[in-house]
């Protein structure tokens, strides 16, 4: 009987300590890992979210850019971090749903087992862009140009095994053309090389493409979603072209913690983020960086969504025969 009482006291103490830890969180600076370079599309959205989330949590959030292997290195760092809620991951579909399918020997984490989902933040389209000197003014002219010159023109992406490369290869498959893939380490360098006519074409997020497009430095041939973007309704969809009608892709941003983090901490972060994403001022800020749809899903909804995305990209990667180069 005495032994039972002792175990009851110990269990009660552990439960109390766990709930107290969640309530006390956060008590120090939080590091938000962005697995891409500073100044890129993912980084811009992460910093907008991080600043306001820090205010809601009452604690400073420091954004740390950990680049390499198309976002894999930074993502793996969070998978191996202490599950104390002080290292978080600003993740995208590249790192969580695509990379393992294309580079299984490189990716040493399981996105469904090694992370605790917190919330799907939002979605946005990708765009196919080109240098000004390219002899094509729209997607129909571009497809004719590519078909007449297989292997002559190249397209850049932010790396092997990214959704940007997946979109480029979908265009190759659906349009029966052959653009040569050129992986880059950082999206801002792609913009610079497009403007200086060092690369023919590229795939990257809408938020990164609009500024140089608006000032006339590059061309945009179409967005990756079937519906036109409400943030740029003048831009056609790639699917408007009959040859590319099957092309439909949305990129997304989500917040994750290392697996085995205290559920109370996940709930604390989610509650703060949900309030943040409902704020009209925050939605206006996200619109400025061209995040089309702010979502703010629950942790369980993000877990289901991630599983669906892995299944969807698995079919695309297999159909397009995308492999690490």
Q: Residue 188: what pLDDT?
A: 77
Q: Residue 9: what pLDDT?
A: 46
Q: What angle do CA 82, 87, 89 make, to 5 degrees?
A: 120
Fold exhibited by the domain 125-244: D-Maltodextrin-Binding Protein; domain 2 (3.40.190)
How far apart are alpha carbons 157 and 197 in whole angstroms?
Answer: 15
Q: Residue 25: what pLDDT?
A: 96
Q: Residue 17: what pLDDT?
A: 46
Higher-confidence residue: 56 or 162?
56
Least confident stretch, 162-166, 177-181, 236-240, 242-246 = 162-166
Average pLDDT over residues 237-257: 92
Q: Which CATH architecture has domain 2-124+250-320?
A: 3-Layer(aba) Sandwich (3.40)
Look-up of token digits 């979603």: 225
Q: Give the 3-state secondary structure of the chain.
A: CHHHHHHHHHHHHHHHHHHHHHHHCCCCCEEEEECCCCCCHHHHHHHHHHHHHHHHHCCCEEEEECCCHHHHHHHHHHHCCCCCCCEEEEEEHHHHHHHHHHCCCCCCCCCCCCEEEEEEEEEEEEEEEEECCCCCCCHHHHHHHHHHCCCCCEEEECCCCCHHHHHHHHHHHHHCCCCEEEECCCHHHHHHHHHCCCCCEEEEEHHHHHHHHHCCCEEEEEECCCCCCCCCCCCCEHHHCHHHCCCCCEEEEEEEEECCCCHHHHHHHHHHHHHHHHCHHHHHHHHHCCCCEECCCCHHHHHHHHHHHHHHHHHHHHHHCCCCC
Q: Residue 68: what pLDDT?
A: 85
Least confident stretch, 19-28, 105-114, 138-147, 224-233 = 19-28
Q: Residue 19: what pLDDT?
A: 44
The pLDDT confidence band at residue 20, using thresholds 50, 70 and 90, is: very low
pLDDT value at 289 more than 90: no
303-322, pLDDT tens digit by residue? 999 999 999 899 888 877 77
Q: What are the domain boundaries of the chain?
A: 2-124+250-320, 125-244
Q: Which two tokens stand for residue 94?
A: 């590249």
Q: CB–CB of 225/248 below 8 Å?
A: yes
192-214, pLDDT tens digit by residue? 999 999 999 999 888 788 889 99
Bridging pattern class, strands 218-223 and 115-131: antiparallel
Q: CB–CB of 120/254 below 8 Å?
A: yes
How far apart are alpha carbons 62 and 69 in whole angstroms?
Answer: 22
The pLDDT confidence band at residue 230, using thresholds 50, 70 and 90, is: confident
Look-up of token digits 């205290």: 262
Decide whether 2-124+250-320 matches 125-244 in CATH topology. yes
User: To the nearest whole percent, how much of the chain has pLDDT over 70?
Assistant: 91
Q: Residue 186: what pLDDT?
A: 72
Please state, rounded to an integer, the average pLDDT across all residues of the chain: 88
Q: Which two tokens stand for residue 190?
A: 């792609």
Average pLDDT over residues 60-80: 94
Q: Which two tokens stand for residue 201?
A: 């074409």
Q: For residue 228, with 0-12 CB atoms within 10 Å meaning exposed, 13-18 middle and 19 or more buried, which class applies?
A: middle
| C-beta neighbour count of 277 within 10 angstroms | 21
Q: CB–CB of 265/273 below 8 Å?
A: no
The pLDDT confidence band at residue 231, using thresholds 50, 70 and 90, is: confident
Average pLDDT over residues 25-36: 96
pLDDT value at 221 more than 60: yes
Q: CB–CB of 167/309 below 8 Å?
A: no
The pLDDT confidence band at residue 158, using thresholds 50, 70 and 90, is: confident
pLDDT value at 93 more than 90: yes
């Amino acid at each position: 009987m005495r032994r039972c009482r002792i175990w009851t006291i110990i269990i009660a103490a552990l439960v109390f300590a766990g709930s107290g830890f969640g309530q006390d969180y956060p008590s120090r600076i939080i590091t938000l890992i962005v697995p891409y370079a500073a100044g890129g599309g993912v980084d811009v959205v992460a910093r907008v979210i991080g600043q306001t989330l820090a205010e809601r949590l009452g604690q400073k959030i420091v954004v740390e850019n950990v680049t390499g292997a198309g976002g894999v290195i930074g993502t793996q760092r969070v998978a191996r971090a202490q599950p104390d809620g002080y290292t978080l991951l600003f993740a995208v579909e590249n790192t969580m749903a695509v990379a393992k399918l294309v580079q299984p020997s490189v990716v040493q984490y399981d996105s469904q087992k090694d992370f605790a989902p917190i919330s799907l933040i939002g979605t946005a389209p990708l765009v196919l862009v080109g240098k000004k000197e390219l002899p094509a003014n729209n997607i129909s002219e571009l497809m004719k140009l590519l078909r007449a010159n297989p292997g002559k023109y190249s397209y850049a992406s932010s790396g092997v095994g990214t959704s940007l490369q997946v979109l480029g290869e979908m265009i190759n498959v659906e349009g029966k053309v052959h653009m040569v893939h050129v992986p880059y380490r950082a999206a801002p360098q792609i913009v610079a090389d497009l403007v200086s006519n060092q690369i023919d074409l590229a795939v990257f997020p809408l938020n990164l493409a609009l500024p140089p497009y608006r000032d006339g430095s590059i061309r945009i041939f179409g967005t990756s979603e079937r519906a036109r973007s409400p943030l740029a309704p003048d831009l056609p969809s790639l699917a408007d072209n009959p040859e590319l009608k099957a092309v439909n892709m949305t990129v997304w941003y989500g917040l994750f913690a290392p697996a085995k983090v205290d559920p109370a901490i996940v709930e604390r972060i989610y509650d703060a983020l949900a309030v943040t994403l409902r704020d009209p001022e925050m939605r206006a800020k996200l619109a400025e960086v061209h995040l089309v749809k702010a979502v703010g899903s629950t942790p369980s909804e993000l877990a289901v969504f991630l599983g669906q995305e892995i299944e969807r990209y698995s079919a695309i990667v297999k159909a397009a025969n995308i492999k690490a180069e």
